[in-house]
Amino acid sequence: MLQDFFLHLSSSLNNTSVLFIWLFQIVFCYFSILGALKFFGKTGIYVYVALAIILANIQVLKVIEFPFFPEPMALGTILFISIFLCTDILNEYFDKQSATKCIYLGISAYLFSTIIMFMTISLKPIDPSLNESWAWSYDMHQAIQTIFLPQFPIIVASIFAFFISQKIDIFIFSYLKNKNSSKLWLRNNISTIFSQFIDNIIFSLLAFNFLSSNPVPVIDLIISYGIGIYLIRIALSIFDTFFIYLARNFLPKNIE
């Protein structure tokens, strides 16, 4: 069965270098953005952001160990930072209003998915003891509940950090863009690096300390979610400079 194939493949990849899979995901996400831009224009970028913010908030629930940091780190960083590339592309090649619209669409998609999945969880599952042939459905219910049960700290922290940091990113990018002397690589990196710092601080403190029922010790928070993830975000923001220049070649013929 196809399911068994993917299960076996996933198990095999568990033995692969974490760094290799992580780097592959970076390249895959960035080229997916360019592909979305090429074939669907602004609409493609909007769809990517909607999917990215939903998936990133699922990924952040998984913590893994990286070989270059002493403490485990939550996933989701790649998808979150790729959204900044999206808004910078919209800001550079379209307009500030398109980038701002992207923020609201992303938040709306996240809230919509959260509400829909909460309603799904709220439907009474099948009692496996009364209907054994559908017992697997109860197991699926448990799995869905584990992943999609709304977690107040994550939701509030994610939306608040995303909104504030993206607003700052768009403002700085637009400000530097209006300066005739500013270069694309400069405004892309300055806006992203600064806004990523704001995003990292707000999300980490709210999700894993202030609003958490099991607060992460401050020192661990600083090392794992503060310094560790922020350094990764800086590296990714520098790396995406190549892709924002490359995006010029992926613009649709009739820009919409």
Q: pLDDT at residue 256 above 60?
A: no
Q: What is the pLDDT of residues 214-240, one digit of tens each?
A: 787 777 777 666 676 777 778 888 899
Average pLDDT (10-29) is 84
Banded pLDDT at 44 (limits 50, 70, 90): very high
Helical axes 152-177 vs 77-93, angle rounded to 10°: 30
pLDDT for 228: 67
At 223 the pLDDT is 67
Give pLDDT tens digits for 83-126. Answer: 999 999 999 999 999 999 999 999 999 999 999 999 999 999 88
Q: What is the pLDDT of residue 168?
A: 96
Quickly state the pLDDT bin for 3 (edges 50, 70, 90).
confident
Q: Note the pLDDT tens digit of each residue in 130-171.
A: 777 888 888 899 999 988 887 888 889 889 999 999 999 999
> What does the pLDDT read at residue 237?
82
| Per-residue pLDDT at 238 | 87
Sign of the Cα pseudo-torsion (17, 23, 26, 32, in order): negative
Residues in contact with 91: Cβ distance below 8 Å, sequence separation at least 6, in sequence order = 98, 99, 170, 173, 174, 177
Alpha helix segments (H runs only) across 60-134: 77-93, 96-122
Total residues found in the chain within this entry: 256
CA atoms of 220 and 226, how far apart (whole Å)? 9
Q: What is the mean pLDDT of residues 188-198?
A: 91
The per-residue pLDDT for 244 is 95
Domain ranges of the chain: 20-149+221-250
CA–CA dist 48, 71 (Å, integer): 30
For 46-53, what is the mean pLDDT?
96
pLDDT more than 90, % of the chain: 46
What is the average pLDDT value for the chain, to the nearest integer? 86
* pLDDT value at 195 more than 60: yes
* pLDDT value of position 136: 86
182, pLDDT greater than 70: no
Residue 43 has pLDDT above 90, yes or no: yes
User: How far is CA 254 from each of CA 40, 94, 188, rounded to the nearest angstrom?
Assistant: 10, 12, 24
